[in-house]
Amino acid sequence: VFTPNGDGVNEGFKVHALGTTSYSLVIYDRWGKEVFTSSNPDQEWFGFMKDGVLAEAGIYVYRVKMRIRGFAEPIFEEGSVTLLR
């Protein structure tokens, strides 16, 4: 759960990834529409749609693909995150 409300606590969502050589994060709304993408593991999603409009409170699906230094195969993870306003 994250709460981008300007109080400085739990403002953004990101997948923690150390030692990556490549990284891709995509977040989807409940209809499967991409709302956020990033190739920077330090970049957080602050609850805005791609067009800059505030995303609605709710559950979003994320998918991340990354390569970690020293591992031959890429790592795929997916899950859900809840946005509260």
- Predicted confidence (pLDDT) per residue in 18-70, tens digit: 899 999 999 999 999 999 999 999 999 999 999 999 999 999 999 999 999 99
Length of the chain: 85
Banded pLDDT at 17 (limits 50, 70, 90): confident
* Predicted model pTM: 0.90
29 vs 50: CA distance, rounded Å: 11
Q: What was the pLDDT predicted at 14?
A: 94
Bridge partner list, 66 = 23, 75
**Torsion angle of the four alpha carbons 10, 58, 77, 7, in this order, in degrees rounded to the nearest 10:** -10
